[in-house]
Amino acid sequence: MPLGDNLGDKNDSRYCGVETEFNDDMPHVLSHNINGGFDFVVAPLMEPGYRPSLVNSVNKETTVLPFAGSDLVLSPAQWSSHVVGKISSWIDLDSEDDVLREDSEIALKQELAWASHLSLQACLLPTPKGKSCANYARCVNQILENLNNMQLWLRIPLVKSDYDDGDSVNATSDGMVVEPTDSWELWNSFRELCEHHSQLSVALDVLSSLPSVNSLGRWFGEPVKAAIVHTDIVLSGKAVHKLPVGSSPSGSSQADNYSQEAQRHEIRSYLDYVGYLYQKMEPLPEQERFEPLMDNLEAQTYETFEKDSVKYIQYQRAVSKALVDRIPDENASTTTVVLMVVGAGRGPLVRASLQAAEETGRKLKVYAVEKNPNAVVTLHSLVKLEGWENLVTIVSCDMRFWEAPEKADILVSELLGSFGDNELSPECLDGAQRFLKPDGISIPSSYVYKFYTACDYIKVVKLHKDLLHFETAYVVKLHRLAKLSPSQAVFTFTHPNYSPNKSNQRYKKLRFEIPIETGSFIVHGFAGYFDAVLYKDVSNILPPKVTHVCEGRISLGLSHVAVLWFGMSGV
């Protein structure tokens, strides 16, 4: 896989295929393109001149249909791994021509049945021919109900929704003229008629002009499986040849990496350029590839948290600054700081705190408080393994009921949980602040919860029919997200909080403005997250790398996301 040469997971955006014409010599088509560096081909399964109505009615039951050769010309693994079926583009199930409409339904069912027989992973459905696609969607929905695991990609032209530049028509790569419309609305109508089926996805046909940034952003919340890029409108010859002469995108010699046949592929230069752009992308942070979260955590969940190296680096920085502020250099060798880690888990904050003491030259006494008896076993093993017996006291107890033998200079916790606060951070830390000296330091010192409207491809609609699940906050990982409006602060908590009238009850009403140029949309819900200040200028954000979803904060472990899902249409 040429695009997969770069280390680091970039989700599923790593395959590059080529769309081909009908050819009954499928082994040659596949060999030419795979040897040319492509991962798969999008190939028609039926001769383009075939129409069911043209077949002799007497012999309809016995006539061999003109498919692209026998299923035996390729191995099952080749069909499954390297071929995406392209359903005939002439199909129009909403045509007013009765013959064409009937032919279209028969052909669609025949081709998808054949593709399913071949065990193809996906088939590319043709673009609906008009704004009305009810019969097309009806037929596809019927097929989906009895389909195996094969995915159906509906080809949708990425058409501008605001025709203010004089454009009147666009044409897809298969020659179909598309009237000015909002392509997102076309997709939304089709998938609603198909009941949001999980095997129905989008293949965006990228045309010569793009929608506005806000309008385009809606697609980030949709199940887009492929982008169909046209070489004649996206990459000019000059752009392609900006690649370093004589080298592949990975920097090694093309002669070393690719065969002579690969050099002869007619669009190889475009593939090289796509690979070059792909390798310039930053891989997803390791912690962003893991999922949260549950009560009385299991070992696998602890391991997930511990992979978030950025978070613990920030905690170590915060503890270091707190130690330096707490103990002047002249007292560093004679004064011992009492630090309590409440909710110690398997000890990552204990380790971060001790490393901070070592780098600042401060003496530290650590209490590791943890209520999960299974995690306590691991804590004891860690302390023994690292030789921390004289530095760390393990307390197997719920912090709410523990009576500390002494007051702490620094209280450290990562009980922040998600927006829904499933770890009860304010309540727990309010209760634990009795351990602190009057001038003690809490890490974190504050955190702000935020909301924004969003749409994300979800399955709540299909799985549940009751109101309860639509009014439930879910801890989720937003894989595909369209952020429809800027985030707004909702709740703020600070620690320690010695106010005599303190309360963690909160109520807030917000108004979200969505730019009019966004066009139609569906708000699936409100996504919430938080920013935490650990100590002074140390936060859960590592500037300046704020590039990921939710302004970069989801990529750090402190920023788990909770979403209240529901369905709402907007225009």
The string of pLDDT tens digits covering residues 422-480 is 567 888 888 889 999 999 999 999 988 787 776 655 555 556 666 676 667 666 666 67
pLDDT at 163: 44
Bridge partners of 86? 44, 124
Cβ contacts of residue 237 below 8 Å, gap of 6+? none
Whole-number Cα distances in Å, 335 to 20, 120, 460: 75, 69, 56
Boundary of a domain, candidates 377, 408, 443: 443
Residues 93 and 229 in one domain: yes
Higher pLDDT, 543 or 310: 310
Residues 351 and 211 in one domain: no
Residues 457 and 523 in one domain: yes
Mean predicted confidence (pLDDT) in 491-500? 87
For 119: left if phi > 0, alpha if psi spans -120 to 50, otherwise beta; the answer is: left
Q: Are 376 and 403 in contact (CB under 8 A)?
A: no
pLDDT at 490 > cutoff 50 = yes
Q: Quick one: which of 249, 287, 253, 255 has its CA closest to 271?
A: 249
Range of the domain at 277: 2-284
pLDDT at 175: 53
pLDDT at 564 > cutoff 50 = no
Range 427-451 burial, b when 16+ CB lie within 10 A, else e: ebbbbbbebbeeebbbbbbbbebbb
441-450 per-position pLDDT tens digit: 999 999 887 8
Bridge partners of 528? 451, 562
Bridge partners of 411? 340, 442
Residues 140 and 267 in one domain: yes
pLDDT at 285: 53
Helix axes 309-326, 348-360, angle to 10 degrees: 40
Tell me, what amino acid is at 377?
A: V
Q: Are 41 and 16 in contact (CB under 8 A)?
A: no
pTM above 0.85, yes or no: no
Residues 314 and 392 in one domain: yes
Residues 119 and 142 in one domain: yes
Residues 304 and 189 in one domain: no
Residues 529 and 394 in one domain: no
Boundary of a domain, candidates 443, 469, 488: 443
Residues 27 and 168 in one domain: yes
Whether 58 is in a domain gets the answer: yes
Report percent pLDDT > 70 for the chain: 70
Would you give the distance in Å from CA 57 to the centre of its chain? 50
pLDDT at 111: 93
CA distance 56 to 70: 22
Mean predicted confidence (pLDDT) in 492-512? 86
Mean predicted confidence (pLDDT) in 407-428? 77
Q: How many domains does the chain have?
A: 3
Active site residue 423: yes
Residues 485 and 392 in one domain: no
Whether 291 is in a domain gets the answer: no
pLDDT at 254 > cutoff 80 = no
pLDDT at 283: 65
Answer whether the bond into residue 496 is a cis peptide, omega within 30°.
yes
CA distance 421 to 529: 10
47-75 per-position pLDDT tens digit: 888 888 887 555 555 455 656 567 888 88
φ and ψ of 56, to 5 deg = -55, 120
Whether 499 is in a domain gets the answer: yes
pLDDT at 529: 78
Q: What is the dihedral of CA 133, 139, 142, 148, to 10 degrees?
A: -100
CATH number, domain with residue 259: 3.20.20.150
Q: Which of 105, 423, 471, 517 is catalytic?
A: 423
The CA angle 434-435-438, to the nearest 5 degrees, is 75
Whether 373 is in a domain gets the answer: yes
CATH number, domain with residue 493: 2.70.160.11
Q: Quick one: which of 490, 475, 477 has its CA closest to 549?
A: 477
End-to-end Cα spacing for the chain: 41
Binding-site residues for S-adenosyl-L-methionine sit at: 302, 311-312, 370, 398-399
Cite the DSSP H helix spans in 387-450.
425-432
pLDDT at 165: 43
Report percent pLDDT > 90 for the chain: 35
Binding-site residues sit at: 302, 311-312, 370, 398-399
Whether 294 is in a domain gets the answer: no
Boundary of a domain, candidates 415, 443, 471: 443
Higher pLDDT, 434 or 551: 434
Residues 195 and 229 in one domain: yes
pLDDT at 520 > cutoff 60 = yes
CA distance 31 to 513: 52
128-180 per-position pLDDT tens digit: 998 789 999 999 999 999 999 899 999 999 886 554 444 444 555 555 554 54
Active site residue 261: no
Sign of the CA dihedral with 184 first, then 186, 192, and 194 last = negative
Whether 290 is in a domain gets the answer: no
Helix (H) or strand (E) run with residue 312 in it: helix 309-326
How high is the mean pLDDT of the chain? 77
pLDDT at 16 > cutoff 60 = yes
Tell me, what amino acid is at 291?
A: E
Q: Quick one: which of 23, 38, 37, 108 has its CA closest to 74?
A: 23
pLDDT at 328 > cutoff 50 = yes
CA distance 552 to 114: 45
CATH number, domain with residue 341: 3.40.50.150
Whether 151 is in a domain gets the answer: yes
Q: What is the DSSP string of 513-570?
A: ---GGG-SEEEEEEEEEEEEEEETTEES--TT---STTTTTTTSTT--EEEEEEEEEE
SS3 15: coil
SS3 109: helix
Q: Which of 96, 414, 427, 517 is catalytic?
A: 414
Token pair for residue 234? 């996206």
Whether 535 is in a domain gets the answer: yes
SS3 188: helix
pLDDT at 63: 52
Number of H helices, E strands in the chain: 18, 21
Residues 432 and 305 in one domain: yes
